[in-house]
Amino acid sequence: MIMTQKENKPFICYHPGETLSEKLDEMGLTNAEFAKVSGLSIDSVRKITSCKMDIDDATATVLEKYTQIPASFWLKLQENHNLYKLDQLTSSLAKEIRCNGANKMQKIRRTIEKLSKISAVF
């Protein structure tokens, strides 16, 4: 995670699936092979490594067991990614309100729906 100096907020943040994908490459395992040894479904492993599924406590525990990377690391990556997405959506919403006022209320409502889905994780 790269931090800005002034704000101390991440301006770029990666989904933990990218790290998992790199780790599986390092271990010489395909998604299917990792799914087989870890007990996770192949669909879950594919979704995580393609950054389409978040990592929860149970998944982080499995990842810890089979990658030797602490569950807390995986969960922190996920938390940072969620905060980054939330910040991006909030910034987008603020920009829409400033630039377009009430004319773009439908787009603003969709952004708020996305925000509520992300904040539900917290």
* 67: number of Cβ within 10 Å: 20
Q: What is the pLDDT of residue 99?
A: 73
Domain spans, the chain: 14-119
What global pTM score does this model have?
0.72
In what helix (H) or strand (E) does residue 3 lie, and over which residues does it extend?
strand 2-3
pLDDT, tens digit, 9 for 90 and up, residues 5-32: 445 555 568 899 999 999 999 999 999 9
62 pLDDT more than 60: yes
Residue 85 corresponds to which amino acid? K
Question: How far apart, in whole angstroms, are the C-alpha atoms of residue 30 and residue 110?
Answer: 36
CA 90/CA 36 separation, integer angstroms: 39
pLDDT, tens digit, for every residue of 64-108? 999 999 999 999 999 999 998 888 888 877 777 777 665 666 777
**Bigger pLDDT: 44 vs 115:** 44
Return the amino acid letter for 27.
M
Output phi, psi for 7, to 5 deg.
-90, -20
More confidently predicted of 115 and 100: 115
Which has more confidence, 46 or 104?
Answer: 46
DSSP state at residue 49? H
Domain 14-119: give its CATH superfamily: lambda repressor-like DNA-binding domains (1.10.260.40)
Contact yes or no for 27/33 (Cβ under 8 A): no
Residue 5: per-residue pLDDT: 44
